[in-house]
Amino acid sequence: MKRPNVLAVHSIDHFALEVPDLEVARRFYEAFGLDVRDEEGGLALYTAGHSHCWGRLFKAAAKRLHYISFGIFTDDELAFSTHLDTLGAKRISAPAGANAAGIWFEGFDGLPLNIRVGEKCSPNAKTRFETISTPAGKSGAVFNSAAPKVYPRNLSHFAIYTSDVISATAWYDKVLGLRLSDGSGPVVAFLHGAHGSDHHLFALVGSTHRGMHHASWDVGSFQEVGLGSAQMFRAGFKEGWGVGRHVLGGNYFYYARDPWGSYCEFSADIDYIPADCEWPAAQHSPEDSFYLWGPDVPSELVTNFEPGAPA
């Protein structure tokens, strides 16, 4: 699944957040269906039956995007080190609580970034999607008392706020090899991995400063998107957006708002871009770049509640 002669990250290995209350974070992510584990210094986010750690949470005074780690192939490690030096990337120490493995450097908007050798954890094919129905003469009812809990399968993509979507898109292309799938000028950009990934492995949303917008998690049916929204409501997390369907990427969605103003998305049936596909990247008008159908957009959906970057 590796695109020949292309130097690029293959996955988001994991993301890291600072949060003011780890127990509140545990309740939110467990309600969402993730496997939340204690680890030294904080919490770790896994999906059911999957050995990969997708996210780490550390306690701090305020909620803030701490860093992002990207995965690379073993035979690209030296080439990436040379590439970063050629570009004049500023090497940094690993942030507090982070593993020092790999290469740490200062990213766009000063965001700490890491690249490390690791197994490709982004999908190698379009993920399975099921349309669930019943034949004539049979009941399709699922009683609330027997409704199954939704457990996401893997991290689909991660979206961050940035001070300049257009410049950041060019930066992530040049530095990490992420490719534009589709965008809407200075408002939003969706980037995929050159070695095969969902329509967007990484997304950029315009703001005044950096921060986390949402983490998107893959589920297997439209039914699971709806069930996911219901399980968040029952757990007391009633703010969010959806159910709906996106235009760019084509996925069905529900966004559950976390206690600090960012989101976790249940996502199903997103477009997939194989390693041998030349996707026709394009810029789109706002009405053709957000959602095809769904409820009205909450006013705070694209409000960056994180404090500005620390000095």
Strand residue runs (E) in the chain: 11-19, 35-39, 42-46, 55-59, 64-72, 103-106, 112-117, 154-162, 179-184, 188-192, 197-198, 202-206, 211-218, 240-246, 252-257, 263-268, 272-273, 282-283, 291-293
Distances (CA, A) of 41 to 14, 22, 62, 225, 302: 16, 10, 16, 32, 30
- The residues facing 20 across adjacent strands are none
Place of tokens 């939110």: 28
What phi, psi does 232 have (nearest 5°)?
A: -70, -40
Per-residue confidence in pLDDT tens, the chain, 311 aa: 799 999 999 999 999 999 999 999 999 999 999 999 999 899 999 999 899 999 999 999 999 999 999 999 999 999 999 999 999 999 999 999 999 999 999 999 999 999 999 999 999 999 999 998 899 999 998 898 899 999 999 999 999 999 999 999 999 999 999 999 999 999 999 999 999 999 999 999 999 999 999 999 999 999 999 999 999 999 999 999 999 999 999 999 999 999 999 999 999 999 999 999 999 999 999 989 999 999 999 999 999 999 975 54
What is the full DSSP assignment across 197-209? Answer: EES-SEEEEE-SS
Domain 11-134+151-293 sits in CATH 3.40.50.2300: no
What is the full DSSP assignment across 240-262? Answer: EEEEEEESTT--EEEEEEPTTS-
Instruction: For the chain, give every domain's residue range.
Output: 11-134+151-293
